[in-house]
Structure 1
């Protein structure tokens, strides 16, 4: 019997999830500095973590490896890296505190409700709103980490061929915040319909 069969925790999807958690300290250290270089490398780390988020789910489905450990850890890892990025850029004024509070509050409340439902043996299916929320959060955070103006015409400093990544990040963060509230209310409504009978 192989090690993986003896201990189902050690499989590729779960290892990718653990890698995502391991990247959080690296992200935090990079974001101690507001410099352009630090932001660029922090965005690269965050992008790698986001890819592992998609990849571990894809591999778990493709390989038929679904464990209780993975189900628990995967959403926790997602929330941790998103919140680490947002909290670390707060002191630089790149994001409004109330937006971080709304996003963090929603995650805490929904995680708590999922825990209550689970103790009752009830599974409340996640809606597509949650997937859209995650996508917009990822794009927003990448923009906010990059923050500065980036020129796209072979590095030529031309006022017509640049984009301010902070503005891009804030645009998507507004959308992400709206969907965050919407998906939270949607889940709460489903929870109330199932629990309160």
Structure 2
């Protein structure tokens, strides 16, 4: 696939509202739920359902990460914005999720760097 370089204003002229872009952004909106579920579980370890909710939120984030690229190709909705948006959302969710794990579960901070 040949990728043409576009100017910043041309990024927004391409298709913005696609299923794959929605899935990428929704992954970022799952992060506050993961934080809340984890914080609730840590403050009350007897509420194991919140640990399950946190794990399910992670699984949902992984599924949206897989589906956004798959659906973009399947539905021919690949866009320049999507090529930038997906890795940015991936990094936000990864750093946010690892920060929660380091903070609440006392993992070593080097995990964020690695």
Q: Shorter-chain TM-score: what band?
A: 0.7 to 0.9
TM-score computed with the length of structure 2 as normaliser:
0.74
The answer to whether structure 1 residue 44 and structure 2 residue 56 are counterparts is yes
CA distance in structure 1 between the partners assigned to 2:112 and 2:92 by the alignment = 13
Residue 34 of structure 2: aligned partner: 27
Equivalent pair of 1:13/1:57 in contact (CA under 8 Å)? yes
Q: Shift in Å at residue 80 of structure 1?
A: 1.4
Which residues of structure 2 form unaligned runs of 5+? 1-12
Equivalent pair of 1:86/1:95 in contact (CA under 8 Å)? no
Equivalent pair of 1:60/1:66 in contact (CA under 8 Å)? yes
Residue 61 of structure 1: aligned partner: 73
CA distance in structure 1 between the partners assigned to 2:82 and 2:108 by the alignment = 32
Q: Shift in Å at residue 7 of structure 1?
A: 6.6
Aligned-CA RMSD value = 1.8
Q: Which has the higher contact order (CA 8 A, sep 6+)?
A: 2
Q: Shift in Å at residue 29 of structure 1?
A: 1.5
CA deviations over 1:85-142 (Å, ceiling 9, x no partner): 111122333522112222xxxxxxxxxxxxxxxxxxxxxxxxxxxxxxxxxxxxxxxx
CA deviations over 1:24-71 (Å, ceiling 9, x no partner): 111111122323332211110110111011011001111221112111
Q: Structure 1 stretches (4+) deviating beyond 6 angstroms?
A: none
Equivalent pair of 1:13/1:55 in contact (CA under 8 Å)? yes
1:1-197 equivalent positions in 2, closer than 5 A? 8-33=15-40, 34=42, 35=45, 36-102=48-114
CA distance in structure 2 between the partners assigned to 1:93 and 1:25 by the alignment = 17
Which residues of structure 1 form unaligned runs of 5+? 1-5, 103-197
